[in-house]
Amino acid sequence: MDDRRGCRGGGFTRGHLYQLAAAGCVLNDLCREAQAVAIMLDGVRVTASGAFDTESWQSTGIEYVVTIDSQANPEEIERLLARVDEVAEIPKALRGGTTVARAPQKPD
């Protein structure tokens, strides 16, 4: 990630980072879960998109699309995708919601 404009706008937003985390997790878990069930993946692309409420900055949701290049049959691929949708940690955490709080600084 790079913002060559010196943090004067452009580049990516925090919203993009949120979506990138979900897509990256899905990609990583696809590779891991495919290996566990001996499915050879020749190529994988995961793209994510979403939006935020501009008043509250709460996410209005994230959708991801997976494109897989593989010789495996479509039923095997569908089972793999369903498994990854169950176990992918970041999407699971985002679905469940969370709290974020600043912790007090610990003394040295």
Closest-CA residue to 19 (of 37, 1, 3) = 1
Q: What is the pTM of this model?
A: 0.80
Closest-CA residue to 19 (of 61, 53, 66) = 61
CATH 1.10.3720.10 assigned to domain 14-96? The reply is no
* H-helix segments, the chain: 14-36, 74-87, 89-96
pLDDT of amino acid 66: 94
Closest-CA residue to 22 (of 52, 54, 57, 46) = 46
Summarised one tens digit per residue, pLDDT across range 1-60 is: 344 455 555 566 777 888 899 999 999 999 999 999 999 999 999 999 888 887 887 788
Greater confidence, 66 or 50? 66
